[in-house]
Amino acid sequence: MRKLWLVVCAVCLLSCAGLAQVKSTVQWKCDKAANQHSIDVGDKAGHAYAVDQINCTPVKGDIDGAKRKSGTGTEFIELNGDNFTGHGEFVETMENGDKNFYTYQLKGTLKNGVLQTGSNTWSMREGGGKLKGAKASGACKGSGNPDQSATWDCAGEYTMAKK
């Protein structure tokens, strides 16, 4: 029985060899949406659907030593008064030119159309370069700034592909 247990442990260790778990945090500063379109639903005040695009700059954080350069989020949002929910795609460009593609679901609150607080969950759809074949997921918390930009603090875990 003891030998069987050792064999099972060895198989598990060998099957996981080459998979690296990497934790990453990043703080993004995202500008006020430069390209935004909304349509009122017409059923009640403050109910609308919107599409927008935001440009973000990393303030701090990397992925296993690789530096981020910029990010662009394209979102579809449902507004209900001062609350919103939605989903989007985020394209992250690394300093070396590699691109990583993420999907996310978000929710939050607004005041006079400006973000107060928000949160999202995300997963990497496709990684480039060093992250090709990797899997990743995580979450962010956001808050609005007086200049109508937003700050998003994100954390996640990346499982690197076998080489």
Domain coordinates of the chain in residue numbers?
21-159
Give the residues of the chain that fall short of pLDDT 70: 1-19, 163
Extract the tokens encoding 45: 């005040």
Q: What is the pLDDT of residues 86-117, one digit of tens each?
A: 999 999 999 999 999 999 999 999 998 889 99
Is 21-159 in CATH node 2.40.350.10?
yes
Global pTM reads: 0.85
Extract the tokens encoding 37: 């379109």
Amino acid at 9: C
What DSSP assignment string belongs to 65-108? Answer: TEEEEEEEEEEEEEEETTEEEEEEEEEEEETTS-EEEEEEEEEE
